Amino acid sequence: MTVLDEIITGVREDLAVRQADQPFEKLLELAREVQPARPVVPALRAPGLAVIAEVKRRSPSKGDLAEITDPAALATDYAAGGAAAISVLTEKRRFNGSLTDLGAVREAVETPLLRKDFMVHPYQFYEARVHGADLVLLIAAALSDVELRAFLDLTDALGMTALVETHTEEEVERAVNAGVEVIGINNRDLKTLEVDLDRFGKLVSLIPDDRVKVAESGILSIDDARRVRQEGADAILVGEALVRHGDPRAAVEEFASID
């Protein structure tokens, strides 16, 4: 069993608890009451390098990264620094995230929000909307073609945007063929947790220029960000470098200043 398989097993177990606590019909009711999702693609396509700044306490590969007692305050700093979007981890076991974090961040900022999780069931998409998400992460390695297309349709029906994460040629091709507008290339292999910053440069040419290209993982410095920008990134998704910086607002400003 790969690390990704283990994570998804835990995600499904935790999901079953939430489903038992809140029936789907009630979740549907709540989803109808929330404000429409915010558009994010224009911000990701704006001149310069767009920053998707992440509220991230820990990771499976590095353990605890930062003690984030107030995710809303951190997100406010990100927004003030010019983040195009803010990613909030909601997976509990490996990342110490929660939907409560997502809701708190939603109340604090107007910036588009990404629910960063392992999306494997329709229930999670309605949860995302109820808690204020404008984008959801779809991990190609975790989904069949049928699931990917179904989840893309559901994301669209709920007014949200999908960021489809890939890390192989085959996964990039699947995303492109499915008509995905925002495609991420993850430099981390979720099956082994190994990071290869060369991965983005090797795969980015497979993504047409009319799609938004997002570089994910392993971007720990301004030099890393400049590198992927030169290779064709429209946006970067950064967590560790921001939560460990000491001045998250200044860190986002520095990344966002890259042309």
Catalytic one of 91, 127, 171, 216: 216
CA 66 to each of CA 57, 130, 165, 244: distance values in angstroms, whole numbers, following the listed order: 5, 27, 24, 6
253 counts as catalytic: no
191 counts as catalytic: no
Q: What's the burial of 137, exposed, middle or buried (CB within 10 Å: 0-12/13-18/19+)?
A: buried
217 counts as catalytic: yes
Catalytic one of 165, 171, 240, 254: 165
165 counts as catalytic: yes
Name the residue among 223, 216, 222 with its Cα closest to residue 239: 216
Catalytic one of 186, 213, 240, 254: 186
Render the burial of 86-103: b for 16+ CB within 10 Å, e for the rest: bbbbbbeebbbbbbebbb
177 counts as catalytic: no
56 counts as catalytic: yes
Catalytic one of 127, 217, 240, 254: 217
For residue 242, give the H/E element and its range.
helix 240-243
Catalytic one of 87, 116, 171, 213: 116
Name the residue among 110, 109, 14 with its Cα closest to residue 70: 109
Q: Which amino acids are annotated catalytic?
A: 54, 56, 116, 165, 186, 216-217
